[in-house]
Amino acid sequence: MSRIVLNNLTYSRPDGHTLFNNLNVSFENRRYGITGRNGSGKTTLIKLITGELTPVTGTIQNTGKLAVMPQAREMASYGKVHELFSSSERYLALKRILSGSVDPSDYETLEDDWEVESLIEKYLDQTGTGYISPDRDYDTLSGGEKTKVLLASLLHSGPDFIIMDEPTNHLDRDSRMLLYEFAEEYEKGLIVISHDRELLRRMDVICEVSEAAIKLYGGNYDFYREQRAIEKSAALERLEEAERSLKKSVALQERTLRNQEKRMGRADKKAKEGGIPKVIRNSRRNSGENTFGKITNSHLLKTEREKENLAAARAGIGREYKISADFTDRRMPEGKIIFRAEQINFAYDELNNLWQQDLSFELRGNGRLLIRGSNGSGKSTLLHLIGMELQPKTGEITRCSSNIFILDQAVRFLEENETLLGNMKRFSGGKIPEHEMRIRLGRFLFYGDDVFKKVSVLSGGERVKAGLACLLASDPQPDLILLDEPTNNLDLESIEIITAGLNEYKGPLVVVSHDPDFAAELKVTRELVL
């Protein structure tokens, strides 16, 4: 049976920060979902397994063949479908030979692999894309076709383990369903980094990557969440017990020392009144002080142990990331029309409308509208029409307010070369003191000198959190928030944080998302399918 085994593995970043220390973990013929905070080392772990990075110490034993699913930015470089396959050069050599080439280098490249074309076609057919020619331009495929062709190329390589890093990012619903089906049916090893909860539900084991460690949970995402809730409850009980024990220890220490001081005072007074010589009284006093010192040290040691227990209990819980949102109540009157789109359409050229039929819909009161559809169906364009950044070619959109913000995937309303603090100051109109802005940014996990980071250096997930933090601080606050795939670059914890923050906002929302868990947690009230 094929296995990947990491033995006593230690890895440090170039800046000296240790990500993994004496790590021991093994992967077998199962489906593994890798989760953890952004920056915890998930992608680094994959690069160590594939040999792209070398550990400081320890070994990696791999008894199987690996195949790595390319990410969207890598797939953009493909010209033809056959370029996804490892046998692409042999395929091209065969095509030249069949066209009459007698160049010896073509025969050398082919290596007598006369079945190379039929094998590519076999795996395309296996994934339901046998009708697609290996010579077809990759960019002409639909989203679902691209996913199927990519999976065909992975199967073609005959791997024992397939490794995927955030494979559902930027995929539409149909393409995601294809990937879910593949994960469910794949019978060899699968290692997937993902924050997609539906995909993680198809896993056999969840691996949580945290500070210098990996913890395995023998079940899918729902099992993992249940176990984490149990662990958290137990950790909170240990914390409460440690806090009670420390308070009890401190109170006992203070009470004991007060009583000892009183006894020493009474004994000294009695000795004086009894006419005991000074030298004897001093000797007794010294003895009493020694006893007092021993009692003090004993209680101090006990208190220090209780403090250590408390610190360990707090470490077991970790930092609690719950956003305390600062939205004022932006509720709109029920029935009030927030916006109304009547017979609208859009065109990026003069000839072709984006939608086959004109769109008419509206949002009222504090409704929450989910817009979904396949990639290229115009979801983001529709958001920008609602947000007044684009104008419809035909029809009309009326709005009750122009105080609308779009929180898109790039968070474009933030100034790239400005700091987080500077951006928040701009949004608040300078009405919030610096210490209060620091507190607000801290609620979105930006602590200390993080507030002086420029937006240009933030990760995708950090940009989304910074954008929402600034919207919370804006004066006046938004009457309508438009969200364009806000969870694409977020880890699971950040998704929970953003969801909690948005649920503090009681006004109307429009969200574009392929994440049904996120949409359900936002309590969307209606859907528009493009």
Does the structure show a pLDDT above 80 at 369? Answer: yes
Q: 209-261: per-residue pLDDT in tens?
A: 987 689 999 999 999 999 988 888 887 777 777 777 777 777 776 777 677 66
pLDDT attached to residue 343: 96
Q: What is the mean pLDDT of residues 428-456?
A: 89
pLDDT, mean over the chain: 85
Q: 291 and 350: one domain?
A: no
Would residue 17 count as lying in a domain? yes
Instruction: Look up residue 281 and give its amino acid.
Output: R
Confidence of residue 500 (pLDDT cuts 50, 70, 90): confident
pLDDT band of 417, cuts 50, 70, 90: very high
Provide long-range contacts, Cβ within 8 A and 24+ apart, for 140-146: 141/81, 142/374, 143/171, 143/172, 143/174, 143/175, 143/374, 143/375, 143/376, 144/172, 144/174, 144/175, 144/178, 144/374, 146/75, 146/175
Q: Both 358 and 457 in a single domain? A: yes
Examine residue 322 and state whether it is found in any structural domain, yes or no: no
The reply to whether 35 falls in a domain is yes
On whether residue 113 sits in a domain, the answer given is no
- CATH assignment at residue 189: 3.40.50.300
Please report, as a single letter, which amino acid is at residue 160: D
Range of lowest pLDDT (47-61, 99-113, 439-453, 514-528): 439-453
The residue-averaged pLDDT of 453-472 equals 87
In a shared domain, residues 480 and 436: yes
How high is the pLDDT of residue 472? 80
Helix, coil or strand: residue 406? strand
**294 exposed, middle or buried (CB, 10 Å; 0-12, 13-18, 19+)?**
exposed
What pLDDT, in 10s, does the model give residues 321-331?
555 555 556 67
pLDDT at position 376 is 80
Smallest CA-to-CA distance from 167 within 31, 53, 1 is with 31
User: pLDDT, tens digit, for every residue of 53-67?
Assistant: 999 999 999 998 999
Does 316 score more than 60 pLDDT? no
Token pair in block for residue 442:
């801290």
Distance CA 479, CA 271 (A): 81
At residue 502 the predicted structure's pLDDT band, cuts being 50, 70 and 90, is: confident
Q: In terms of residue numbers, what domain contains 49?
A: 4-65+159-219
Last residue of some domain: 317, 350, 383? Answer: 317
- Looking at 268, 285, 317, the residue that finishes a domain is 317
Same domain, 215 and 232: no
**Predicted confidence band at 74 (pLDDT cuts at 50, 70, 90)?**
low
Contact 476, 403 (CB under 8 A): yes
**163: helix, strand or coil:** strand
In a domain, 499, yes or no: yes
pLDDT range class, residue 300, cuts 50, 70, 90: low
Model pLDDT, residue 221: 95
The residues that bridge with 36 in the sheet, in sequence order, are 209
For 370-391, write each residue's pLDDT tens digit: 999 887 889 989 999 999 999 9
Find which of 194-203, 398-407, 423-432 is predicted with most confidence, using mean pLDDT.
194-203
Instruction: Please report, rounded to a whole number, the percentage of residues in the chain having pLDDT higher than 70.
Output: 85
Same domain membership, residue 371 and residue 290: no
Q: Which of 268-277, 431-440, 470-479, 507-516 has the lowest mean pLDDT?
A: 268-277
> Is 88 among the domain residues?
no
Q: How far apart are CA 23 and CA 340, in angstroms?
A: 57
Residues 376 and 408 in one domain: yes
Same domain as 350, residue 302 = no
Residue 116 has pLDDT above 90, yes or no: yes
More confident call, 76 vs 32: 32
Comparing 175-189, 218-232, 263-277, the range with the smallest average pLDDT is 263-277
Last residue of a domain, one of 189, 219, 249: 219
Residues 107-117: b if buried by 16+ CB within 10 A, e if exposed = eebbeeeeebb
- Quote the pLDDT of residue 332: 83
Residues 271 and 362 in one domain: no
Q: Are residues 373 and 438 in the same domain?
A: yes
110-116 mean pLDDT: 93
- Once rounded to an integer, what is the mean pLDDT over residues 269-289? 62
User: Can you give the pLDDT at residue 11?
Assistant: 92
The count of structural domains within the chain is: 3
Nearest of 509, 525, 480, 528 to residue 361 by alpha carbon: 528
- pLDDT band at residue 123, thresholds of 50, 70 and 90? very high
Q: Give the residue with greater pLDDT, 36 vs 263.
A: 36
* 179 and 310 together in one domain: no
Asked whether residue 201 falls in the same domain as residue 259, the answer is: no
Is residue 326 in a domain?
A: no
Q: Lowest mean pLDDT: which of 38-52, 311-325, 490-504?
A: 311-325
Residue 450 above 70 pLDDT? yes
Residue 365 lies in a domain: yes
* Phi, psi (deg, nearest 5) at residue 369: -105, 130
In this structure, are 414 and 352 located in the same domain? yes
